[in-house]
Structures are given as C-alpha cells and as structure tokens.
Amino acid sequence: MDLLPLDHPRLKKNNFDLLRLLLALTVCLVHAAELSGFSALAALPEYLSSRIAVQAFFVVSGFLIVMSYERSSSLSSYTSKRIRRIYPAYVTVILLAALGLVLVSRLPLTEYFSFTWVKYLLANLTFLNFLQSTLPGVFEANRMPAVNGALWTLKVEVMFYVSVPVLVYCLRRVPRLPLLILVYVLSIGYAQLLLGASIRTENPFYEQLARQLPGQLCFFIAGAALFYYLLFFERHIRLWVTLATVVLLTHHWTPLPWLQPAALAVIVLFFGLFLYAGNFGKYGDFSYGVYILHFPLIQFLLNAGWSEEHAWSFLGTAVCLTLLGAILMWNLVEKRFLLRSSHYVSSEKVEPKTAPVKQPVQI
C-alpha cells in the first residue's frame, strides 16, 4: 500500500503541538490533585486521566517519530534530531532540581551534597529515575517525596526512539502489516499477563511493570501503523472514527484491551490531522516543558505550605508557573538546540513582502 508523500500538506498542517500541550496540561492537573490530596480538587482525576494522556502521547510519538526517521537522510541525522529535541531541556530540569532544591532541603550543605545526591544526578541524567527519585532532605513532608515522578515516561520514550531504526529496517524487508500486528498483539499480551498477575497476587509491582516496555509499545505501534496506512485511514475515516468511539465509550462496561490502543490512536490522530485548528506551532512547542516541569513545581508549592483552604489558588498558581517555565524553557533552551531545518525555526522566518524586481532580458 502506498504511503502518503512525506511532503503532503496534511503532514505539515496539523494540531500535534496543540494536542500535546493539552495532554501535558491534563497530566499537570491530575498530578496537582493527586499530590496535594486536596478534596476540592478530587474531581479532576475522575474526569481527566493522566494514564490516557500518557498513552495518547505514545500514540503521537509513534506517528511522528517514525515519520521523522523516514524523512531523515541517515541514522546519524535521525539520532541527532532526537537528542537535540529531548536531552537539552531534560538535562536542564535535572540540574535545576539537583542544584536549586538545596534551598528547601532540611539538611545542611555537607549532608545534601552526598552520595545520594550524586546517585540522583547520575541516575536521572541517564533516564534511570527509578534508581533514585528523591533528593536528600527534599519534599520529605509532602505526600510523595519524589522530585519529578513524571519522568518515568521519558525512558520509555527513549526506548521508542532506539527501537525505530530496528522496526523500520524490519518493515522494509518483511510484509509490513503482519509485523505491525504481531508486535501490537505481543505488547498487549505482555501487559495483560502482568496485569493479571497483579490482580492474582495483589502485588502492584506487576502493574508497574506493565506500564513499561514492552507493555506500552502497542500505543507507539498503533501510531506508527496509522502513519504507514494513513491513506487507507483517510478513505474510510468515518467508519474508523465511529468504531473507535464505540470501543472507547464502552470500555468502562465492556473492556476490550486488544482494541483500546488502536481505538485511542484513531481518535488521537483524527484530532491531530483532520480537524486543523491553526498553526499553533508558530508560537513554539511548550508541551515538553509543561510535562517535565510541572511535577517539581507542584511539589515546591506544596512544600511551601499551600493548604486545602486555597486549593484553587494553588492549582492556578501551579498551572501558571508551569506554563511560564515551559515558555522560558522553550525560548532559552529547547529552541536553541533545534536544527535550522526544523519547522519551529523556519516558521519564525517571515519573508519580506516586497514587489519582485524585474530582471533585464538577457540577449
């Protein structure tokens, strides 16, 4: 089946920047409610799902990262783009936390800058956040002492990046659809086995494993599959969107775990590609900054003493600080590491609207 040309307008004019920002803000709102434990905010996790938001992120990554690899001239070009996009801001957040949170630690400097501090720095800089999620004497009075509990998805994302060259290599040499279906099914089967073990043993560790790779690969693969079969999806879009909506709306009463990732991918990419809401990307991509900054900012506010009485003021302050931090992160860090060919950079270059100069006819 033919691919949509990589320079097709639909792949350039999309809502992915806006969609990812909304997903990141969803995670921010849910974490604000869960980390604070304020009863006034208890409704947020009931109506918003950080789990589904993260899964939607993985779907978008599957679509965009595979497209990025297909567009790249070489493996080194692809690798450079991925590192430039994810690592500078990530390192900045880790260093800001490691160096700045000494100001709120209950420990003296000599005890703060200890082996635990070094372990936090090294583990987090290498995406191994689970090895050391706390800093000495920091946020110990909070409901959860972790400095940035949202970063667990980044190691999953990085593994997606690493897997794409292998995946595309295989897709170019074997029948594409059967391989995509096989990986999709194996991923869901792995996750379901672990979730079943978690229920049988009442051990949440298995559920945590299901949230890692390869359990989350099905969402990435669903996004990648829709990239490869976008023309087919577009021809039958009403049917696919209708079926996906039914699967998602009935999931609470009749769970269909084998179809839910594909259904979510259909809805996410329908909004991302077929309901164009304008060039939000001309302002920048603030979603990554929102995602990696919101957790420590929420923790900092709670550590500062915000109480239940001011729950909504706390929420508004957390969101505003997160957005401000994301805007600063974009302009001061992220954008500076992008290649000139990036559409975020090129969109800022406005050609002067001058009349063409008439050239003399050469005889």
- The whole-angstrom separation of Cα 285 and Cα 220 is 20
10-21 pLDDT, tens per residue?
777 899 999 999
Answer whether residue 97 is part of any domain.
no
State the total domains in the chain: 1
84-137 pLDDT, tens per residue?
999 999 999 999 999 999 999 999 999 999 999 999 999 999 999 999 999 999
Q: How high is the pLDDT of residue 278?
A: 83
Say what the pTM is.
Answer: 0.91
Where is 333: in which H helix or E strand?
Answer: none
Q: What is the DSSP letter of 330?
A: I
Q: Give the C-alpha distances (Å, rounded to integers) separating 55 from 27, 288, 326.
A: 11, 15, 21
- Which residues contact residue 82 at a Cβ distance below 8 angstroms, ignoring those fewer than 6 apart? 65, 68, 161
Answer whether residue 215 is part of any domain.
yes
Q: Is the pLDDT of residue 354 over 90?
A: no
Answer whether residue 356 is part of any domain.
no
Residue 358 banded pLDDT, cuts 50, 70, 90: very low
- The whole-angstrom separation of Cα 178 and Cα 171 is 10
Answer whether residue 304 is part of any domain.
yes
Please tell me the total number of residues recorded for the chain in this structure.
363
Q: How high is the pLDDT of residue 279?
A: 83
Answer whether residue 117 is part of any domain.
no
136-155 pLDDT, tens per residue?
999 999 999 999 999 999 99
Closest among 214, 165, 184 to 66, alpha carbons compared: 165
Residue 24 structural domain: 9-73+146-346
Residue 281 banded pLDDT, cuts 50, 70, 90: confident
Answer whether residue 61 is part of any domain.
yes
Separation of first and last alpha carbons in the chain: 50
Q: How high is the pLDDT of residue 2?
A: 61
Q: Is the pLDDT of residue 288 over 90?
A: yes
Answer whether residue 78 is part of any domain.
no
- The whole-angstrom separation of Cα 14 and Cα 275 is 8
* The two structure tokens encoding residue 348: 């800022």
**111 φ, ψ to 5°?**
-90, -30
Answer whether residue 203 is part of any domain.
yes
